[in-house]
């Protein structure tokens, strides 16, 4: 391929690619390794974004690359529906073993998180013969129509794209920093969870609800972590009404929170668990894992897709699981403690930090113009991301008001890279504060 500069490639991008797909940085990548990205002009960046939570095991982890190459030498695609292959069934077996729940499970694979969400909903509806789905405020579940309908945020995701799918109902989430009920934890008694019963009286009848779908830690919504008892209460209510409880672990799973799955922090066992992102370490792979009797409800041919569970992606997924199960979870816990401690120190120093929250190394800081009014500091957060980029750190924001700085760095980041990244971030904070 020709050697082009970032600017030349940007001109091509502007001319040939629609503006809809957003870009956080104006660079084009030449290579990436671990937690470092190098652009086509040879400039290096510390990566605190991990391709939006996809690179938990690090860019180009040796074992993943070796597995991909070995599989590519054998065959790249047959379509699982036409001629099956071992990596698919081996990965399904492993997912059934490692996901929470001591009961028979089954897994099938698709290409993206949104597709996993679509299929979770299809299966829950089929198994229960009920139409409605309950999702939460600030949820993000993807950009295909059902996933987008379940997604809460209007800008930039939903605006202009309606009408959306019917039979989706939305209730407040346990966003303690901005409680929808104006209450305070723990005095609130986690009313937001119990309010699901009221929701069934005033919004949708429990016996028409197929599934409740939730992210254990809301990702795009602002790295929102509910109180420890929240999900056991929600799940108990679901069980009482025969509702399938789906956890979307697409961003929070695969070691991101220091456990394989974030729901393990809450001692809750979903009926269906959705995985994606870091499962394939950059290859398009997402999983739907659930109770065998629910997963087996749809008829033969009712589920599938041409590329779902592509053999190269499944080999990558198997290598990812080996890496995570070997040592990375322990590393993740330590990384999380370090980052959180630093953020909490910053909170004492910089008034612009209203809240620090997260689980393990899935940590975010919510920026506010004023701690009393909690007015979101979205522009300042954007400024911080831009300044960080200019100084060699790639990072992301999230939240309904785009005012939450989040970190999704590869778990293999070295201490030196982490410290350099945090120093850039703190310099930016000083400037905007």
Ligand X SMILES: Cc1ncc(COP(=O)(O)O)c(C=O)c1O
Pick from 34, 100, 142, 360 the residue near ligand X by CB under 6 A.
142
- CB of 140 vs ligand X, minimal distance in Å: 5
User: From the list 105, 125, 141, 233, which residue makes contact with ligand X (rule: CB under 6 A)?
Assistant: 141
x/- string (CB under 6 A) for ligand X, residues 246-285? --x-xx------------------------x---------
Token couple for 181: 């009920």
Q: What is the contact mask toward ligand X in residues 100 to 119, using x (rule: CB under 6 A)?
A: ------------xxx--x--
Spell out the SS3 assignment of the chain: CCCCCHHHHHHHHHHHCCCCCCCCCCCCEEEEEECEEEECCCCEEEECCHHHHCCCCCECCHHHHHHHHHHHHHCCCCCCCCCCCHHHHHHHHHHHHHCCCCCCEEEEEECCHHHHHHHHHHHHHHHHCCCEEEEECCCCCCCCHHHHHHCCCHHHHHCCCCCCCCCEEEECCCCHHHCCCCCCCCCCCCHHHHHHHHHHHHCCCHHHEEEEEECCCECCCCCECCCCCHHHHHHHHHHHCCCEEEEECCCCCCCCCCCCCHHHHHCCCCCEEEECHHHCCCCCCEEEEEEHHHHCCCCCCCCCCCCCCCHHHHHHHHHHHHHHHHHHHHHHHHHHHHHHHHHHHHHHHCCCEEEEEEECCEEEEEEECCCCCCCECHHHHHHHHHHHHHCCEECEEECCCCCEEECCCCCCCCHHHHHHHHHHHHHHHHHHC
Nearer to ligand X, 219 or 287 (CB): 219
Residue 336 near ligand X by CB under 6 A: no
Task: Find the shortest distance in angstroms from Cβ 266 to ligand X.
Answer: 16
Q: With respect to ligand X, which residue has the nearer C-beta, 312 or 352?
A: 312
CB of 268 to ligand X, least distance (A): 16
Number of residues that bind ligand X (CB under 6 A): 15
Minimum distance of ligand X from residue 351's CB (angstroms):
30
CB-nearest residue to ligand X? 113
Nearer to ligand X, 39 or 249 (CB): 249
- Structure token digits, residue 423: 């120093």
**Judged by CB under 6 A, does residue 219 bind ligand X?**
yes
Q: Which is nearer to ligand X, 140 or 230 (CB)?
A: 140
Site membership for ligand X, residue 215 (CB under 6 A): yes
- Count of beta carbons in the 10 Å neighbourhood of residue 311: 21
Residue 329 CB, nearest approach to ligand X (Å): 20
Q: Does 140 bind ligand X (CB under 6 A)?
A: yes
Nearer to ligand X, 287 or 421 (CB): 287
Neighbours of 44 (CB within 10 A): 13
Q: Which x/- pattern, by CB under 6 A, does the window 176-205 give for ligand X?
A: ------------------------------
d(CA 220, CA 408) in angstroms, rounded, equals: 12
Q: How far is the CB of 320 from ligand X (least distance, A)?
A: 15
Cβ-based nearer residue to ligand X, 309 or 428: 309
> Of 32-40, 58-66, 244-252, 294-302, which segment contacts ligand X by CB under 6 A?
244-252
Name the minimum Å distance from CB 142 to ligand X.
Answer: 3
The residue range among 128-136, 215-223, 323-331, 389-397 that interacts with ligand X, by the rule CB under 6 A, is: 215-223
Of 352 and 362, which has the nearer Cβ to ligand X? 362
Binding footprint of ligand X on the chain (CB under 6 A)? 52, 112-114, 117, 140-142, 215, 219-220, 248, 250-251, 276
């Amino acid at each position: 391929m020709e050697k082009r500069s970032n600017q030349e490639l940007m001109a091509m991008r502007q001319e040939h690619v629609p503006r809809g797909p957003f870009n956080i940085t104006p660079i084009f990548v030449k290579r990436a390794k671990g937690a470092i990205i190098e652009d086509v002009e040879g400039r290096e960046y510390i990566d605190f974004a991990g391709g939006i939570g996809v690179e938990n095991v690090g860019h180009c982890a040796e074992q993943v690359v070796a597995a991909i190459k070995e599989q590519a030498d054998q065959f790249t695609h047959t379509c699982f529906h036409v001629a099956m292959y071992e990596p698919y069934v081996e990965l399904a077996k492993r997912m059934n073993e490692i996901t929470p729940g001591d009961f028979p499970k089954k897994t099938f694979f698709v290409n993206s998180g949104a597709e996993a969400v679509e299929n979770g909903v299809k299966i829950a509806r089929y198994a229960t013969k009920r139409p409605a789905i309950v999702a939460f405020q600030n949820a993000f579940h993807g950009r295909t129509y059902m996933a987008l309908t379940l997604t809460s945020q209007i800008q930039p995701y939903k605006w202009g794209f309606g009408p959306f799918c019917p039979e989706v109902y939305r209730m407040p989430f346990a966003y303690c920093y901005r409680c929808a009920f104006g209450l305070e934890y723990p005095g609130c008694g986690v009313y937001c969870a119990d309010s699901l019963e009221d929701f069934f009286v005033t919004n949708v009848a429990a016996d028409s609800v197929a599934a409740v779908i939730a992210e254990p830690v809301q990702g795009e919504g602002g790295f929102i972590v509910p109180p420890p008892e929240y999900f056991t209460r929600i799940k108990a209510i679901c069980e009482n009404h025969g509702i399938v409880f789906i956890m979307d672990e697409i961003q929070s799973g695969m070691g991101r929170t220091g456990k394989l799955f974030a729901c393990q922090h809450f001692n809750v066992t979903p009926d269906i668990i959705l995985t994606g992102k870091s499962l394939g370490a950059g290859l398009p792979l997402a999983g739907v894992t659930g109770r065998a009797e629910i997963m087996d409800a749809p008829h033969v041919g009712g589920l599938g897709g041409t590329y779902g569970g592509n053999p190269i992606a499944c080999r990558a997924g198997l290598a990812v699981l080996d890496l995570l199960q070997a040592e990375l979870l322990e590393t993740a816990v330590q990384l999380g403690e370090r980052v959180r401690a630093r953020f909490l120190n910053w909170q004492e120093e910089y008034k612009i930090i209203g809240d620090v929250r997260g689980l393990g190394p899935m940590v975010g800081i919510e920026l506010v113009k004023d701690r009393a009014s909690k007015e979101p500091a979205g522009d300042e957060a954007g400024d911080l991301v831009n300044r960080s980029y200019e100084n060699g750190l790639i990072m992301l924001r999230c939240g309904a008001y785009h005012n939450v700085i989040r970190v999704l760095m590869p778990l293999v980041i070295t201490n030196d890279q982490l410290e350099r990244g945090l120093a850039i971030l703190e310099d930016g904070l000083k400037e905007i504060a």
